[in-house]
């Protein structure tokens, strides 16, 4: 049901229902507004939530094949040495069983044979030791799949800092210090659904280093999220405060509802803009802290995130700082929808002077909203002044629309009335 009111507006039952944009604001006032609390909570979540899921991988077959080939080579070398040593020992036994007097030349040959046997024994011991070492290396090499690694971590940290992470793994001290680590150390990524599997091939010490790096990066990501949550909390609180104050304005005219709807829309858009701005800002700061996170501990990083978040909040006072421009933007939208567009569909074309007069009236309203201290602010009393301003605008337009007598000279006449220089005005019709 709709009914026409005396001020030429239409209302319906819906006008008495709550405005979902403002009166249904949900505000969580129980959460802390202290940045330290958010970062501390992020740190505590890091220590409890950094579960590393790992399983044996088959990705190191190539490395194992190379080691087995090395073992086979050493085995062949050992068999060759064994055959040579066997032949030399048999020859020595023959020489020892010969009781004839040896010539000087035979004595020299015998000494040479003894020396050869010693060298073959030493070589066999060396090869045997190398075989044992290679077998220990074969047993020590582990290929492990680290599952459920967050996409953000792989794409924002592991991929761009691949070389840095690999260098840190190479610097890890192991009990196989002389082994050329480049032959076995690998880091591989495989996307699985909404996460990644990161495969590390290396010694146990490399896996411990990788897990430490992963925990640090996850900690850094959670600190970043803590800062984002804090910023969003502050932003939502300001946005909700504005919306609640708007809902408490007593005026319920359709003009005010239209204006309020536009203002709330602009506030929401500005809020989204600030959210993206902060997320980009803190993301850029995180990028500069990544190398420090990979190479060192997080003690100073938390302090840096705290400092950068406060710097942003100080330099960008968010919605309260923007509210005047948003109020003016909503006024311009109201003028566009209710006057500018409607003016193009009038039955009788207005005169240029009438159009100019209307524009001057509109500009006066704009200046009032911009400069009058009674309108400047974000409290209920400041918003409560706006409905009368909208009503004044529509009175100006309605007079323009029906082309009232003296409208074209109304600015001059109103100035005279304000100066108390005119008490009676007569029109051409005698009114």
pLDDT digits (tens, 9 = 90+) for 353-381: 888 888 988 999 999 999 999 999 989 99
- Strand pairing class (2-4; 142-150): unpaired
Indicate the pLDDT class of residue 89, thresholds 50, 70 and 90: confident
State residue 375's pLDDT score: 92
Residue-level pLDDT at 413: 62
Using one digit for the tens of pLDDT, what is the confidence trace for 285-305? Answer: 888 888 888 887 677 888 888
Rounded percentage of the chain residues whose pLDDT exceeds 70? 74
Mean pLDDT taken over the chain: 79
Q: What are phi and psi of 207, to 5 degrees?
A: -65, -40
Residues 6+ apart with CB under 8 A from 167: none
CB distance 113 to 88 below 8 Å: yes
Annotated domain spans of the chain: 61-139
Q: 10 Å Cβ neighbour count for 124?
A: 17
pLDDT of residue 399: 82
CA count, 13 A, side-chain hemisphere, 102: 14
Q: Identify which of 386, 33, 390, 383 has the alpha carbon closest to the alpha carbon of residue 242.
A: 383
Please state, as a whole number, how many other Cβ atoms lie within 10 Å of the Cβ of residue 376.
14
* 3-class secondary-structure state, position 305: helix
* DSSP 8-class letter at 154: I
Q: Are 23 and 261 in contact (CB under 8 A)?
A: no
Q: Where is pLDDT greater, at 38 or 291?
A: 291
pLDDT for 323 = 92
**Would you place residue 7 in the very low, low, confident or very high pLDDT band (cuts 50, 70, 90)?**
very low
């Amino acid at each position: 049901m709709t009914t026409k009111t005396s001020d030429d507006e239409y209302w319906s039952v819906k006008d008495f229902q709550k405005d979902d944009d403002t009166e249904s604001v949900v505000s969580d006032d129980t959460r802390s507004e202290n940045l330290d609390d958010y970062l501390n909570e992020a740190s505590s979540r890091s220590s409890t939530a950094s579960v590393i899921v790992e399983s044996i991988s088959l990705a190191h077959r190539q490395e194992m094949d190379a080691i087995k080939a090395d073992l086979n080579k050493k085995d062949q070398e050992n068999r060759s040495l064994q055959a040579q040593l066997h032949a030399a020992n048999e020859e020595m036994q023959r020489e020892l069983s010969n009781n004839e007097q040896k010539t000087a030349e035979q004595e020299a040959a015998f000494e040479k044979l003894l020396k050869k046997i010693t060298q073959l024994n030493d070589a066999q011991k060396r090869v045997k030791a190398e075989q044992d070492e290679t077998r220990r290396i074969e047993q020590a090499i582990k290929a492990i799949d680290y599952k459920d690694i967050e996409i953000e971590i792989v794409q924002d940290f592991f991929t761009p800092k691949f070389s840095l992470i690999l260098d840190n793994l190479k610097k890890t001290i192991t009990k196989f210090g002389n082994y050329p680590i480049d032959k076995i150390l690998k880091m591989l990524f495989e996307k699985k659904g909404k996460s990644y599997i990161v495969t590390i091939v290396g010694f146990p010490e490399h896996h411990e280093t990788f897990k430490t790096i992963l925990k640090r990066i996850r900690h850094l990501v959670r600190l970043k999220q803590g800062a984002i949550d804090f910023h969003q909390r502050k932003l939502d609180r300001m946005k909700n405060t504005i919306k609640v104050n708007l809902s408490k304005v007593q005026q319920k005219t359709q003009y005010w509802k239209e204006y309020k709807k536009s203002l709330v829309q602009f506030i929401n858009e500005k809020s989204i803009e600030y959210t993206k701005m902060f997320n980009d800002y803190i993301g850029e700061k995180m990028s500069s802290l990544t190398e420090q996170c990979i190479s060192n501990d997080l003690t100073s990083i938390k302090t840096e995130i705290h400092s950068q978040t406060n710097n942003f909040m100080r330099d960008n006072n968010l919605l309260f700082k923007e509210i005047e421009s948003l109020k003016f933007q909503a006024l311009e939208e109201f003028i566009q929808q209710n006057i500018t567009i409607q003016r193009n569909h009038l039955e009788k074309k207005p005169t240029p002077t009438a159009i100019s007069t209307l524009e001057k009236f509109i500009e006066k309203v704009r200046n009032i909203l911009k400069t009058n201290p009674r309108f400047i602010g974000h409290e209920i009393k400041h918003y409560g002044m706006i409905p009368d301003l909208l009503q004044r605008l529509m009175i100006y337009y309605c007079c323009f629309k029906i082309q009232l007598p003296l409208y074209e000279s109304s600015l001059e006449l109103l100035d005279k009335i304000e100066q108390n220089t005119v008490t009676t005005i007569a029109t051409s019709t005698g009114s």
